[in-house]
Homo-oligomer: A and B are copies of this chain.
């Protein structure tokens, strides 16, 4: 029986909150998964949420705080005293603890850090050194490690001790006496092996995949996806084991990456959620809209140069939307395909000329097909024959140019370290609009 968040339930819960109906709240939340409780609390304000939280056991409170998104958490923790924050953080893993500490105002952070359990404090201080978006910032310090010269039974004893601080573990890492990572033994092999065997006899044969602390989080995600890993050990430059990253953190990286790409493609800056304030919504959207506006004004100025021609044959103006829309669509298709191949770990940039040639051939095919269709339609729908031919010639050129721009822009952005998804956003669309207009009117000017 899974918990369901219906409108009726939220309303009933609100009533219970208004009436401070302690018994009802306690009863409905019994045995409910903390992730469900935190989804529920999103519907209420900080004071109300705290009232609910105070009824729950400390470990559930800690899990709920861990599951909140950072923005909500920052606001929510304002109603807590540092001492309360300390007791909650003490129940968490080092990576989650470090994330929360990172979000706290500097003064509170120092106070909370000071109050943490000694072990956790040392671990968190180590983690706080790393930036959020590198392997060091993703990793947790809790892991199970054994020395290569131990026996299986020694390992199991040691795991019993170490496991008290680690709530999930998949693999047991093998290190030498200098903590240098040598490989792993699977828990399964430990469970099914003879107790007197030495660890180095049952160590996994395949070379262990590890990542270094400074590796980019998206590269960590690529590696874990490529090798189908549920956890990956993190080593420092000396090759010493310093932490591990689990797949659930990487799922978050992948989801955020996709969301960021989508925001860039649709022209939204900052990390905007639909339920952010009106002001934040406006601020995140305006800059990109202004790019479009500036482009539109340039378009208008440019068309002004051909005023006489338009007055003579008004139909010239009729086809600007067709030309621009097609240029825009072709450009976005092209850049989107390149962005997708760049995201593929196997992408080899060396075949560049071959790629461009194919893009060119596809553009020729699309351009030719569309121009012929439009020519037929125009000859049938409009009565200006010469203009019909000119529109098709311009359309063909625009398709070819827009394919080229759409293809090379993400490659250039990527080469210089920008997110190539930017190329599917408003900046490039605006450039393509202007390009289309220029090609069209120059064609008209030359041929009509």
Contacts and interface: CB of A to CB of B under 8 A. Distances in A.
A442 interface: no
Nearest to A247: B247
B156 A191 contact: yes
A104 interface: no
A382 interface: yes
Interface stretch (A105-113, A122-130, A288-296): A288-296
Interface in A268-288: 268, 272-275, 278, 281-282, 285-286, 288
Interface in A164-222: 166, 168-170, 186-188, 190-192, 206-207, 209
Interface residues of A, number: 125
B366 A285 contact: yes
A320 interface: yes
A132 B437 CA distance: 46
B266 A191 contact: no
Given A266-B336, A318-B304, A341 B374 contact: no
Contact of A292 (B168, B325, B335): B325
A429 interface: yes
Contacts of A61: none
Given A230-B230, A300-B318, A310-B317, A369 B286 contact: yes
Contact of A300 (B267, B310, B382): B382
B321 A324 contact: yes
A273 B159 contact: no
A254 interface: yes
A386 interface: no
- Copies per assembly: 2
Interface string A309-333: 0110011011111111110111011
A275 to B, nearest CB: 7
Given A228-B248, A247-B230, A329-B288, A322 B299 contact: yes
Contacts of A377: 297
A164 to B, nearest CB: 8
A266 B326 CA distance: 12
Nearest to A210: B2
Contacts of A282: 362, 365-366, 369
B274 A338 contact: yes
B259 A374 contact: no
Given A42-B346, A156-B191, A251-B254, A322 B300 contact: yes
Contact of A255 (B168, B225, B263): B225
A207 B266 contact: no
Contacts of A7: 348, 350
A33 B273 CA distance: 40
A20 interface: no
Contacts of A326: 289, 292-293, 296
A228 B293 CA distance: 44
B340 A322 contact: no
A81 B296 CA distance: 61
Contacts of A329: 267, 288-289, 292, 426, 429
Given A278-B365, A324-B324, 12 more contacts: A42-B346, A170-B230, A191-B191, A228-B248, A230-B230, A250-B251, A267-B333, A273-B341, A274-B355, A292-B329, A296-B325, A329-B426
5 contacts: A170-B230, A282-B366, A300-B382, A303-B318, A310-B317
The 4 closest A-B pairs by CB, nearest first: A296-B322, A266-B336, A258-B258, A317-B317
